[in-house]
C-alpha cells in the first residue's frame, strides 16, 4: 500500500515525454497518486522556454500598470464571454466572502481582443499567443498521461480538448494600501472549473492547498516547475478517483504584503459539447456520483456563481 501524500510532489515530466517505457510508466503512476490523493503536483522539465515565460510576465506587468480607464477598455464585452479584463474585487471565488483582492485578464483561443490606439490588446501579442500554444501542447501531454493512468486510450482526453476552449489568465495581486474587509483574501477558497490547470508563479507566493485531512499547506514557488492541478470536470469524469482540490491565495503576514504578486494560469477545458459522464474504469469502487453533463453547461453555471452571486 502506498503512503498517503501529505505534501505536493515534484515530478520530472521529461521522463514521460522522452523516457523509455519503464520511465513513462513510473511517471504515470506518480501522477495517478498525486491526482488521487491531493489533486496538485509540481511538474519540472515541461519544455516551456524560460525566455517565453519571462516575456509573458513582462507583458502582464506592463498591462496591469496601465491606468484603470485604459484597462477597462478591454473589459468583458458580453456576459459569460470569460475573456478580457476583470477589475479588483469584481471576482468572488468564495461566494460567501468579499470580492477578491486581485485583477485579471482572460484570453481565449478565439479572442479577437478589444483594442484602442493607446491600449493594444494583450490577446494579439505575439509572446502571449506563442505561450498559449506552448501551454496547449504541454496540457495535451499531461492529458495523455492522465488517460494512461486511468487505463484509457492515450488520446482519450486530448481529442476531447481539441477545440482549445482553454483560458489563459494573467493575474495581478496588488500591494495592500489599506486593511482588507473581514474575511477578504487575495483569492478566495475555490476549486477550478475545468479538467486541469497549469499555474506559473512569481517568487512572492501565497498559494495554499487544502489536503484530504482539511489542513492548508503552502504551494510555495519552486523555480523551474509548473503547478498542475485537477479541476471539477476531471473529478466528475473520474468519479472522484482524481480530486478537485480547494485552494486559495492568502494575504502575506510579512513585508510581502507591500509587493505585487503576479501569476499566470492556463485553464484547460474540454470541448463545450463533450459529455462529462463517469468513466467505466472509475466505477469499480462506487456507482456514478454525478449525472452526465455537457462541459460548456458546467462552465456557465460556475461563472454565474463566481460573478453574479451576492454581487
Q: What percent of the chain stands above pLDDT 90? A: 76
Taking the mean position of all CA atoms in its chain, how far away is CA 39?
A: 12
Averaged pLDDT score across all residues of the chain: 90
Q: pLDDT at residue 78 above 70?
A: no
Q: How far apart, in whole angstroms, are the C-alpha atoms of residue 166 and residue 110? A: 10
Task: Measure Cα distances from 304 to 92, 193, 201, 259, 297 in Å.
Answer: 11, 12, 27, 31, 11
**Predicted pLDDT of residue 120:** 53
**95-123: average pLDDT:** 72
Are 245 and 191 in contact by the 8 Å Cβ rule? The answer is: yes
Burial, 310: exposed, middle or buried (Cβ in 10 Å; 0-12, 13-18, 19+)?
exposed
Q: Which three cell numbers stand for residue 149?
A: 493512468
**277-302: average pLDDT:** 91
**Predicted pLDDT of residue 222:** 95
Q: Mind giving me the DSSP string for 44-60?
A: E-----HHHHHHHHHHH
Q: pLDDT at residue 311 above 70?
A: no
**274-282: average pLDDT:** 95
Q: Mind giving me the DSSP string for 171-183?
A: EEEPPPSSPPPTT
Our CA angle for 289, 293, 295, nearest 5°, is 120
Q: Which residues of 210-245 are buried (b: 16+ CB within 10 A; e: fewer)?
A: bbeeeeebebebeeebbbbbbbbbbbbbbbbbbbbb
Whether CATH 3.90.1150.10 fits 10-308: no
- The residue among 93, 96, 68, 59 whose CA lies nearest residue 174 is 68
Q: pLDDT at residue 289 above 80?
A: yes
Output the CA torsion sign for 177, 201, 234, 164: positive
**Predicted pLDDT of residue 109:** 79
Q: Which three cell numbers stand for residue 103?
A: 485583477
Count the alpha carbons within 13 Å of 50 in the hemisphere toward its beta carbon. Answer: 6
| pLDDT band, residue 6 (cuts 50/70/90) | low
Q: pLDDT at residue 298 above 50?
A: yes
**Predicted pLDDT of residue 52:** 93
Count the alpha carbons within 13 Å of 229 in the hemisphere toward its beta carbon. Answer: 27
End-to-end CA gap in the chain: 47
Based on its alpha-carbon atoms, the radius of gyration of the chain, rounded to whole angstroms, reads 19
Are 154 and 144 in contact by the 8 Å Cβ rule? The answer is: yes
| DSSP code of residue 4 | P
| DSSP code of residue 119 | B
| Domain coordinates in residue numbering, the chain | 10-308
The three-class DSSP label of residue 277 is coil
Taking the mean position of all CA atoms in its chain, how far away is CA 242?
A: 15
Task: Measure Cα distances from 158 to 62, 69, 301 in Å.
Answer: 33, 39, 24
Q: pLDDT at residue 112 above 50?
A: no
**Predicted pLDDT of residue 113:** 44
Q: pLDDT at residue 305 above 80?
A: no
Amino acid at each position: 500500500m502506498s503512503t498517503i501524500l501529505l505534501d505536493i510532489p515534484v515530478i520530472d515530466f521529461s521522463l514521460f515525454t522522452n523516457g523509455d517505457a519503464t520511465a513513462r510508466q513510473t511517471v504515470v503512476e506518480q501522477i495517478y497518486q498525486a491526482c488521487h490523493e491531493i489533486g496538485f503536483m509540481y511538474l519540472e522539465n515541461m519544455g516551456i522556454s524560460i525566455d517565453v515565460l519571462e516575456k509573458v510576465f513582462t507583458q502582464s506587468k506592463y498591462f496591469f500598470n496601465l491606468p484603470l480607464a485604459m484597462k477597462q477598455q478591454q473589459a468583458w464585452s458580453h456576459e459569460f464571454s470569460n475573456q478580457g479584463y476583470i477589475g479588483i474585487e469584481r471576482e468572488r471565488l468564495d461566494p460567501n466572502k468579499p470580492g477578491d483582492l486581485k485583477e485579471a485578464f482572460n484570453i481565449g483561443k478565439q479572442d479577437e481582443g478589444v483594442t484602442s490606439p493607446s491600449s493594444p490588446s494583450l490577446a494579439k501579442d505575439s509572446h502571449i499567443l506563442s505561450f498559449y500554444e506552448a501551454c496547449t501542447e504541454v496540457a495535451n501531454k499531461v492529458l495523455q498521461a492522465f488517460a494512461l493512468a486511468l487505463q484509457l486510450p492515450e488520446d482519450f482526453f486530448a481529442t476531447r480538448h481539441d477545440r482549445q476552449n482553454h483560458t489563459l489568465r494573467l493575474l495581478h495581486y496588488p500591494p495592500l494600501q489599506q486593511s482588507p474587509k473581514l474575511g477578504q483574501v487575495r483569492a478566495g477558497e475555490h476549486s477550478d472549473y475545468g479538467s486541469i490547470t497549469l499555474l506559473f508563479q512569481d517568487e512572492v507566493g501565497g498559494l495554499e492547498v487544502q489536503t484530504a485531512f482539511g489542513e492548508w499547506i503552502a504551494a510555495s514557488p519552486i523555480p523551474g516547475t509548473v503547478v498542475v492541478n485537477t479541476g471539477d470536470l476531471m473529478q466528475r469524469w473520474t468519479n472522484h478517483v482524481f480530486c478537485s482540490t480547494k485552494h486559495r491565495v492568502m494575504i502575506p503576514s510579512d513585508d510581502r504584503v507591500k509587493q505585487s504578486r503576479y501569476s499566470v494560469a492556463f485553464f484547460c477545458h474540454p470541448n463545450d459539447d463533450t459529455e462529462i459522464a463517469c468513466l467505466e474504469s472509475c466505477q469499480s469502487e462506487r456507482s456514478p456520483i454525478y449525472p452526465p453533463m455537457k462541459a460548456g453547461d458546467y462552465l456557465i453555471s460556475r461563472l454565474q456563481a463566481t460573478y453574479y452571486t451576492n454581487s
